Structure 1
Amino acid sequence: MQEIERKYLVVSADFKKEAFKNIHIKQGFLNTDPERTVRLRITGDKAFLTIKGKSSKNGLSRFEWEKEIDINEAKALFELCEPGIIEKTRYLVKAGDFVFEIDEFYGENKGLIVAEIELNKETDTFKKPNWLGQEVTGQVKYYNSQLSKNPFKNW
């Protein structure tokens, strides 16, 4: 499956008033090789194993495969993760026909808030909310796999 998304910095907390849902996420990486990232994630009472391929040249799309796994197995697999577990709250905000996923990070990435919008095709357009800042699509340092290695506090 091909994932097409754009990523932005968030310039104000106004998005929280528009959120229709939020959930705590804990994630770690079993492999952070850019050719094939393997992510482990617990969201609420569910767990997922995700494999992502290398991003396209413009950073907009890449292969993604995801499978739900048993939460107890996920907790055990966290013992095998590379250093740098990420914790964040994800807020969901409707934007026309799309939904923004806004991640507010904690721990070593505290202070970083990033919004992603998944598109159907690279040419899709959408109305940009006033809390949306600079686009960082394709900037590798904003990938969660990289934030686990080089957290925001070190920038």
Structure 2
Amino acid sequence: MAQEIERKFLVKNDDFKQESFKETKIVQGFLSTVPERTVRIRIKGDQGFITVKGIGNKSGTSRFEWEKEISVEDATDLLKISEPGIIDKTRFNVKSGGHTFEVDEFYGENEGLTVAEVELDAEGEDFIKPKWLGEEVTGQVKYYNSMLMKNPYKNW
């Protein structure tokens, strides 16, 4: 079973863009958003993916994750039958010490929201926090993409 360990933060400003070494356009939807499992369909650049995520632990730091690449055509077809709402964002990859932060700048109904995630090998692992990193929101359900689809940032 694959285990994902990550921490999530708000981003204070656009300074991360100067440090970014890669940008990727992402469009995603969800076939299932029940708390016990989410099933995500994603088009990331020129690739398609299906991902299943399990319920998180008490801190929200780790949870089961399974992902497989699928064709963009299949992903496009599956997005058509997804639950209402689409997540539209650009992901910026930024190195900080030995880690890479994935910084997501959202558009559409989530315009104005920018969050950064860092994947870790262990829950207590240390990492270097960039100056543009803001408040930690790990485990806060309203920041999950599956929830942003249902209750977009513009409605907060």
TM-score under structure 1 length normalisation: 0.99
1:34 equivalent in structure 2: 35
TM-fit CA distance, 1:127: 1.2
2:137 equivalent in structure 1: 136
Q: How many residues are paired up? A: 155
2:50 equivalent in structure 1: 49
Q: Separation in 1 of the partners of 2:104 and 2:21? A: 14
Instruction: Name the amino acid aligned to 2:55.
Output: K
Q: Separation in 2 of the partners of 1:43 and 1:125? A: 29
TM-fit CA distance, 1:132: 0.3
Q: Separation in 1 of the partners of 2:46 and 2:82? A: 19
What is the root-mean-square deviation of aligned Cα atoms in Å?
0.4
2:126 equivalent in structure 1: 125
1:75 equivalent in structure 2: 76
Q: Separation in 1 of the partners of 2:81 and 2:129? A: 39
TM-fit CA distance, 1:78: 0.9
Q: Secondary structure at the match of 1:75?
A: helix
TM-fit CA distance, 1:79: 1.1
Give 5+ residue unaligned stretches, structure 1. none
Q: Percent identity?
A: 64
Map residues 48-127 of structure 1 onto 2, 5 A cutoff: 48-127=49-128
TM-fit CA distance, 1:143: 0.1
Q: Separation in 2 of the partners of 1:133 and 1:66? A: 29
Instruction: Name the amino acid aligned to 1:72.
Output: E
TM-fit CA distance, 1:23: 0.5
Q: Separation in 2 of the partners of 1:71 and 1:128? A: 35
Instruction: Name the amino acid aligned to 1:101.
Output: E
Q: Separation in 1 of the partners of 2:144 and 2:78? A: 21
Q: Separation in 1 of the partners of 2:61 and 2:5? A: 5
Moved more, 120-129 or 105-114: 120-129
Question: Which aligned segments of 4 or more residues in structure 1 are displaced greater than 2 angstroms?
Answer: none
Give 5+ residue unaligned stretches, structure 2. none
